[in-house]
Amino acid sequence: MTGFLIAALGLGVSLGIYLAMAAAPAESFQSPELARIVFFHLPCALISSLFLVLGAAFAAARLVKGGAAWDRRSHACIEIAFVFGLLALATGIIFSKVQWGAYWSWDPRQTSFLLVMLIVGAYFALRSAFADEARRGAVSAAYALASLLPILFLVFVYPRIVTTLHPDVVREGGFDNEYRVVFLVNLAAILGVAAWLYNLRVRCASLESNLEETLARLADRDRPAAVGVVRPVSLSSED
Amino acid sequence: MSSGWGSEIAALLAKEVRAELRGRSGLLTALLFNVAAIVAASFASSAQGMPAFGIAAMLWVILLFAAVVALPRAFLVEEEQGTGDLLRLWARPHSVFWGKALYNLGLMLLTGALLSALYLLLSGQTVERPALYVACLLGGCAALAGSTTLCGAFVAQASNRFALAGAVALPLLVPLLAVTVTGTASAFGAGSAESAERAAAGLWAYAVATFAMGPYLFAAVWKS
């Protein structure tokens, strides 16, 4: 990414933070000042879900087309989803304590997101159990696709079929105009940060892979030729 | 490969059953573990006068652990005994998946029927809507069997496969638990018939989706 884009990203993030802090406190909440955490909490949760779906799409491409590049993209997406998922959980826990009186309220949406993080954690555990790159890529891609169904259920279905403390602000239009603008600016800025991190992660993974290949080639070159016992074999019939 | 899909799957299924009956220790250990868990759960629920929702939750937690303990073995044992490579040469990946999955499905249905009957007997819980209860039980067991078979295949060639099997399968199966518990509790009379119907339909849909995509995902892993 060029310097111009990074500068634009920095400007967008600064603007998002400024607008969030300048927005009027939400009076209907226990702590109106802290209600602004929604400008960071909700984009993190949405971006985490988006990158999980993207990761599954790249995993499907890995299985259909093959190649380590798709695996690197899928893995990077799932890593980014994990980081933003943890941020969504952390900001949610802070808000939960202030608004509902406990850090963990066993709210269906809170719990379902924790389960999603456990599923993603299992992806990393599975991935780390394979040393061979091709096998690791295939198994990780298959798991990413197999886990898509429970993840979609947990993110989009389960919180909507049970009673939850979370308002569905996106579908029900729960934001007023000012909050909607601030939310969209923050969503765009945080999405930009996530895309930048994703780009960096994919490039790092590609460099790591090249480095490993080069080191393996160098190790092969420095290895001494196999030395064995050579028994003289006579070719003439007189011997 | 000259033989058809049906004969390959039937041969694999017969091999699984024969292998299990020959060395009965796995089956007996799983049975003992599950019956002990049911007795412990019934004791706890009878002492506290547990509500129907709690009884349904306890039953499905036991079935979940029964599936996680027993079902991934289908693939793990192949790799432990070194017969996995022979299977790769002999059968197509889809046949291997279906053979193992059908065996696991049969085992899970048997386990589910036995344990739930025993649990209802010991806990004294009555079933208000038997048809919905059976639908939830069958759908839940099928979904558990499909998912655990796939998880077993994922971890079969991993370095720490036995520890990893549970760690990978459990997070994938916990969402199922939410649906099965809601459906079963409603079948006990703790919720509406509509809720139980929705849960049963969801479980059947999940099971069908798992069995439909399973062979394709399995083929990608098996070939690698």
* Ordered per-residue pLDDT tens for chain B, 224 residues: 456 888 888 888 888 888 878 877 677 887 888 889 888 888 877 766 788 888 899 999 999 988 888 777 778 778 777 787 888 888 888 889 999 999 999 989 999 999 999 998 988 888 999 999 999 999 999 999 999 998 888 888 887 887 888 888 888 888 888 889 989 999 988 878 888 888 888 889 989 998 999 899 988 888 76
Residue matched to tokens 């809170």: A110
| Max CA distance (Å), chain B | 60
Distances (CA, A) of A76 to A42, A197, B57, B163: 21, 9, 36, 26
Q: What is the pLDDT of residue B134?
A: 94
pLDDT in tens, A23-43: 777 777 777 777 788 889 999
In a domain, residue A110? The reply is: yes
Query: Which residues of chain B neighbour A122 with C-beta distances below 8 Å?
Result: 167-168, 170-172
Distances (CA, A) of A54 to A73, A84, B99: 9, 14, 32
pLDDT in tens, A107-116: 888 888 999 9
In a domain, residue A108? The reply is: yes
Query: Which residues of chain B neighbour A129 with C-beta distances below 8 Å?
Result: 155, 158-161, 164
A124/B contact by beta carbon, under 8 A: no
Q: How confident is the model at residue A236 (pLDDT cuts 50, 70, 90)?
A: low
Determine the average pLDDT of the residues in A126-141.
90
Residue A166's domain comprises 39-171+190-209
Residue matched to tokens 């599975």: A126
Q: What is the pLDDT of residue B1?
A: 46
State the number of CA atoms in the 13 A half-sphere of A223 facing the CB. 9
Orientation of helix A177-222 relative to helix A38-65, angle to 10°: 40
Q: Which of B174, B195, B213, B216 to mutate to test the interface with A (most CBs of A within 10 A)?
A: B174
Distance CA A150, CA A191 (A): 24
Q: How confident is the model at residue A174 (pLDDT cuts 50, 70, 90)?
A: low
Q: What is the pLDDT of residue A169?
A: 61
Determine the average pLDDT of the residues in A205-226.
84
A113/B contact by beta carbon, under 8 A: no
In a domain, residue A127? The reply is: yes
Q: Which residues of B111-125 are buried (b: 16+ CB within 10 A; e: fewer)?
A: bbeebbeebbeebeb
Listed range (A52-61, A142-151, A213-222) with the worst mean pLDDT? A213-222
In a domain, residue A112? The reply is: yes
The dihedral built from the CA positions of residue B5, B9, B10 and B15, taken in this order, carries a sign that is positive
pLDDT in tens, A60-82: 999 999 889 999 999 999 999 99
Query: Which residues of chain B neighbour A126 with C-beta distances below 8 Å?
Result: 154-155, 158, 164, 168
Q: What is the pLDDT of residue A75?
A: 96
Q: What is the pLDDT of residue A239?
A: 47
Tokens of A221: 């070159």
Nearest C-alpha in A relative to B209: A149
Q: How confident is the model at residue A232 (pLDDT cuts 50, 70, 90)?
A: low
A63/B contact by beta carbon, under 8 A: yes
In a domain, residue A216? The reply is: no
A131/B contact by beta carbon, under 8 A: yes
In a domain, residue A71? The reply is: yes
The dihedral built from the CA positions of residue A75, A78, A84 and A85, taken in this order, carries a sign that is negative
Whether residue A121 and residue B217 make contact (CB cut-off 8 A), yes or no, is: no
Q: How much is the pTM?
A: 0.84
Query: Which residues of chain A neighbour B76 with C-beta distances below 8 Å?
Result: none
Please say whether the beta carbons of A151 and A45 come within 8 A: no
The count of structural domains within chain A is 1
Query: Which residues of chain B neighbour A143 with C-beta distances below 8 Å?
Result: 154, 168
Q: Which residues of B197-224 are buried (b: 16+ CB within 10 A; e: fewer)?
A: bbbbebbbebbeebbebbbebbbbbbeb
In a domain, residue A137? The reply is: yes
Q: How confident is the model at residue A146 (pLDDT cuts 50, 70, 90)?
A: very high
State the number of CA atoms in the 13 A half-sphere of B45 facing the CB. 23
In a domain, residue A9? The reply is: no
Please say whether the beta carbons of A101 and A29 come within 8 A: no
